[in-house]
Structure 1
Amino acid sequence: MSRKLDFFKVEVVPHDPNWRSAFETESKLIALALTENVVAIHHIGSTAIPQIHAKPIIDMLVEVKDITKVDTQTSAMEALGYEAMGQFGISGRRFFRKGNEAGIRTHHIHTFEVAAPQIERHLAFRDYMISHPENAQQYSELKRELANKYFDNIQGYMDGKDGFIKAMDMKAAKWRPSH
C-alpha cells in the first residue's frame, strides 16, 4: 500500500554517483511491470546530470507504445510501491510516484506514448545540460538558492526554476538537432 506523500520538504544535495545504478535497477523493474508496452526508459532530471545538486529523486521517462494500456497496468506499478497520479497536469502523461518506508519521495515516473513532444523536450534538456557544464552549474546554484529560500514550499521552488528551465529548453531545442 502506498503512502500519501503530500508534504514535501525541498532539499537538494550534491550529485550522488549511486543515482545511476538506482535508475538502472528501477528501470528493470518498470520494464517487467509494463511488459511489451515499453519502448525505452530514460534517466532524466537533475539526478541524470553529473556534478550538479539535485533533489534526491530519480526521475524516469518511460516511452510506451500505447498510453491507454498503462492505465490497465497500474496494479503492476502499485505492486512496485508506486502511487498512480494519472496525467497529473500534463495531457497525455501517466505519472507515478514512489516513496521509501519513511514516506520520503524516491522516484518519479513520467510515462508518455512514443513521439509525444514531452519526450524530446526532456531528453534535449538533459543532454544539453550534460554537454554544457557551465549552464548545468548555473542550474545547480539556482536550485540550491531556491531550496534554501523555499525549503517548505515546493511550488515556490518549482516556480523559481521555471524561467531558467524554459530558457535552457529553447537553447537545447536549437542545439539538439545538430547532435
Structure 2
Amino acid sequence: MKLGLENNEVRLVEYTTEWQEEFARVKEQLLQATSLLPHQIEHVGSTAINGMAAKPILDMVVGVDSIESVDREFFKALQSAGFLRLRVERPNEIVLAKFADDTYAVKTHYIHLVDFDGEIWRNLLFFRDYLDSNEEARQQYLAIKLDYLESSSSGIQEYTEFKEAFVKEIFVKRDLV
C-alpha cells in the first residue's frame, strides 16, 4: 500500500484492507502521543468505506472537548506523531497532515480536529456509516468521483466542490434517522 498525493493532485486507487490496518497503527501512535481516548479517534473518508475507491490519503477525525481550547502542548503531541497543522481555514475545524517525507511535497494522512460529538463529527461518521451500509449510495458517490476525473487530475478544491451536493444530501439524511 502506498499512501500519498502531491499538492493539488486528484487520483483514485482501488480499495484495500491495508487502509484499516494503517488507521489502527496511526490511531495507536496518537493514543501514545496524546491524552486522547480511543473513542475520540475515528477513521473517516472514502478509505474508511469498505470497497470504495479513494484518494490514497487516510482521513481521521479527532474529537476534542472544545476546539477553541486546544493548546500548544496538544499540537506538539500531534507533531511528535508526525502531524503538522495546515493553513486551511474551515469553521469549527483544524486540519493537520502527515507527509511522506521532510520535503512536505506528498501528504499521506489528514486529521480533522473538531468538537467531539459536534455537528462535523456526527456528519463525518454518519456519511461513512451510511455509505458503508448502502451499496447504491456507494456506487453513486463513486460515479461522481469518476465523472470529475474524466476531465481533470488536479484541483483538490474543485474536486471537493464537485462532490459537495451529494455529500450534503447524505448529511441531511442524518436528521431523518
TM-score (norm 1): 0.84
Q: Which amino acid is the alignment partner of residue 116 of structure 2?
A: V
1:34 is displaced (CA, Å) by 2.2
- CA distance 1:164–1:36, change in 2 (3 Å): closer
Question: 127, 132, 136: which one pairs with 1:125?
Answer: 127
**Which position in structure 2 is the counterpart of 1:83?**
84
- Equivalent residues in 2 for 1:13-162 (5 A)? 13-36=13-36, 39-67=39-67, 68-85=69-86, 88-101=88-101, 103-162=105-164
- SS of residue paired to 2:98: strand
User: For 1:4-25, what per-residue CA distance to the aligned partner results, in whole angstroms no more than 9, with x for missing partners?
Assistant: x972210011111100000000
Identity of aligned residues (%): 28
Identify unmatched segments of 5+ residues in structure 2: none
Does structure 1 conserve the Cα–Cα contact (< 8 Å) formed by 2:62 and 2:116?
Answer: no
- Which amino acid in structure 2 is aligned with residue 45 of structure 1? G
- The letter for the 2-side match of 1:157 is Y
Unaligned runs of 5+ in 1: none
Secondary structure (helix, strand or coil) at the match of 1:27 reads helix
Offset at residue 82 of structure 1 (A): 1.6
- 8 Å contact from structure 1 (residues 143, 161) kept in 2: yes
State the Cα RMSD in Å.
2.1
- Measured in 2, the distance between the counterparts of 1:71 and 1:85 equals 14
